Amino acid sequence: MCSPDSRSNGDGVVMIKGSDLLVAALENEGVERIFGVPGEENLDVVEALRKSRIELVVTRHEQAAAFMAATHGRLTGRPGVCISTLGPGALNFTTGAAYAHLGAMPMIMLTGQKGILFSRQARFQIVDIIAAMRPITKMARTIVTGSSIPTLVRDAFRVAMEERPGPVLLELPEDIAGEEIKDVPLVPPHDVPLPVANPAALERATQMLLAAKRPLLMAGAGANRPRLTEALSDFVRRTRLPFFNTQMGKGAIAGGSKLYMGTAALSERDYVHRAIDRADVILSVGHDTVEKPPFLMGPKGPKVIHVGFMPAHVEQVFYPNAELVGDVGPSLALLADRIEGKLNIDPAFTTLRGEILAKLQDRAEESRFPLTPQRIVHDVRQVMPEDGMVCLDNGMYKIWFARNYRTHVANTLLLDNALATMGAGLPSAMMAAMLYPERRVLAVAGDGGFMMNSQEMETAVRLKLNLVVLILEDNAYGMIRWKQAVDKFPDFGLGFGNPDFVKYADSYGAKGRRVESADGLAPTLEAAFSDGGVQLVVVPVDYSENIRVLVEELSRNVG
Ligand SMILES: Cc1ncc(C[n+]2csc(CCOP(=O)(O)OP(=O)(O)O)c2C)c(N)n1
Ligand SMILES: [Mg+2]
């Protein structure tokens, strides 16, 4: 098989540029778009992209490109691809790399480098990117010869996609990109069905679950892998196990199930912990200890069975007593065959469920202005259809959305409880809007986090995305201010001023609106969605509820 841009050198030998071979290898992997900011070292690749089926989407900061590529991986299971120049551009990928690495999102980063055969610019702009990226990628390699491109690209995609997924970096030096080489065949990708859990492991888990008086299921971050969600929902339908989820496990079990007990957004003392503390065995599906602990294991608490593609990490607060390791969907089906209809389901969970969910409705319709976080979450849910996607940045509201926002479809509340970086909300929503143009997509950000990548409003407008950005304005790094108060430090140093967000949005060619009353949020969001295009809505938030509920009220839930 020859690559599309190959040609004969006159002696019958088919020749191709390294950059054309790279782009052909990316097409071979089904890549449709590449996000980033090219530099002069990437120009051969840019030219190869011009002649290809792949769309080059330039962003206004490499960090946003990496967040978009990572989110592509998260939502589709296929790596998103981003491109940057050497040194400064590549370093701007580091936060996105860590986001994908901790969050288990498949992603390929392509970075340029000065020529390795000649060094005409001495050390200008040269940073050892491979070394810098090694701890925050699954693999980081320099391409040192053009003929290795097909195998390296195939291997990069394999490594990025296979469990546990994550980012891979390929660095392409300028001279290797421009070099004419003998064409080399591409490596066709193929599916690799994974092994399922061993019968001995299934038997052990079965015995523990059949002996349990009050079993519960927990859906963790891994439960939201695109290929798993149907199998997991099926397992819950068959076993009728009541369940809760971690923050990143939200939505993994489909439907408005009567078995949902809540989301463990905090590690202890929240209402959902009444159910967790009551359980004697927790079947933990896809939990990844990169997440802030959903509960703290101790000598007295429930026993845990880990179900995962990989063995569980052992932590001070999480050390499972049994494990089902293997392809999670088929393994769960085998487990359901053994336990269906035979489990003890504690009827007290039904009563508890009512109490837990009722608590979350508290103040959800209060007409205080500025709005309470509970009201904001409530109103957002009103305007979002079941398959609408809410993409959170990082700030105080994340805890409120994780606790209070009900999800019915997988990956409809995208949040990052792993790196928990600010700045990813808007780029992740942009990627969601590109992948699902028929759905409503809402980015939710604080006034701090939004400004970390707000320049991408231009990219969103240029791409003609349909997207609403909701900014919660408290003129502060609210979450840190909250922690400062919790730790009894005086209020100091965390406030700031803001631009006029309405004018700011308008200046990008987007449309800005400000919510002026408690009852104004839902209709303003509705109007923004109906108008289409890139819309920004700014809502003032009253964060006094953070202390009242998350500190004072919950601290009474001891024991
Ligand atoms: C890149 C990055 N810098 C700093 C932090 C620490 N941090 C977590 S939340 C937060 C404040 C967020 O402020 P804002 O976006 O306004 O949201 P708010 O909490 O005020 O709603 C900070 C500084 C972080 N998580 N990520
Ligand atoms: Mg803020």
> Is the CB of 421 within 6 Å of ligand 1?
yes
* Cβ atoms of residues 54 and 27 within 8 Å: yes
Q: Counting atoms of ligand 1 from 1, which one is nearest the CA of 396?
A: 19
Extended beta strands in 296-379, E state = 303-308, 322-325
Nearest ligand to the CA of 451 is 1
Distance from residue 475's CA to the centre of ligand 1 (Å) = 12
Residue 157 in tokens? 């995609």
pLDDT higher than threshold 60 for residue 171? yes
Can you give the pLDDT at residue 205?
98
> Is the CB of 171 within 6 Å of ligand 1?
no
Test site for ligand 1: of 416, 477, 480, most ligand atoms within 8 A of the Cβ:
477
Distance from residue 399's CA to the centre of ligand 1 (Å) = 12
Residue 325 in tokens? 């390791």
How far apart CA 11 and CA 373 sit, in angstroms, is 71
Test site for ligand 1: of 67, 392, 475, 479, most ligand atoms within 8 A of the Cβ:
479
Distance from residue 446's CA to the centre of ligand 2 (Å) = 5
Binning pLDDT at 50, 70 and 90, where does residue 95 land?
Answer: very high
> Is the CB of 447 within 6 Å of ligand 1?
yes
Residue type, 300: K
Bridge-based pairing state of the strands 303-308 and 281-285: parallel
Test site for ligand 1: of 394, 486, 539, 550, most ligand atoms within 8 A of the Cβ:
394
* Burial (CB count <10 Å: 0-12, 13-18, 19+), residue 98: buried
pLDDT higher than threshold 70 for residue 144? yes
What mean pLDDT, rounded, does the chain reach? 94
> Is the CB of 473 within 6 Å of ligand 1?
no
Residue type, 116: I
Distance from residue 480's CA to the centre of ligand 1 (Å) = 7
Distance from residue 528's CA to the centre of ligand 1 (Å) = 26
* Cβ atoms of residues 352 and 238 within 8 Å: no
Binning pLDDT at 50, 70 and 90, where does residue 523 land?
Answer: very high
Binning pLDDT at 50, 70 and 90, where does residue 1 land?
Answer: very low
Q: Counting atoms of ligand 1 from 1, which one is nearest the CA of 420?
A: 25
Residue type, 82: C
> Is the CB of 448 within 6 Å of ligand 1?
yes
Binning pLDDT at 50, 70 and 90, where does residue 229 land?
Answer: confident
> Is the CB of 146 within 6 Å of ligand 1?
no
> Is the CB of 474 within 6 Å of ligand 1?
yes
Distance from residue 132's CA to the centre of ligand 2 (Å) = 31
The per-residue pLDDT for range 425-461, each reduced to its tens digit, is 999 999 999 999 999 999 999 999 999 999 999 999 9
Q: Counting atoms of ligand 1 from 1, which one is nearest the CA of 478?
A: 20
Closest CA to 291 of 253, 323, 245, 244: 245
Can you give the pLDDT at residue 554?
74
Can you give the pLDDT at residue 227?
84
> Is the CB of 397 within 6 Å of ligand 1?
yes
Distance from residue 47's CA to the centre of ligand 1 (Å) = 39
State the pTM of this model: 0.96
Can you give the pLDDT at residue 361?
85
Closest CA to 75 of 468, 464, 430, 445: 430
Can you give the pLDDT at residue 6?
64
The arithmetic mean of pLDDT across residues 516-545, rounded, is 97
pLDDT higher than threshold 70 for residue 558? no
> Is the CB of 446 within 6 Å of ligand 1?
yes
pLDDT top residue among 228 and 216: 216
Distance from residue 131's CA to the centre of ligand 1 (Å) = 28
Can you give the pLDDT at residue 4?
58
How far apart CA 179 and CA 184 sit, in angstroms, is 14
Q: Counting atoms of ligand 1 from 1, which one is nearest the CA of 474?
A: 20
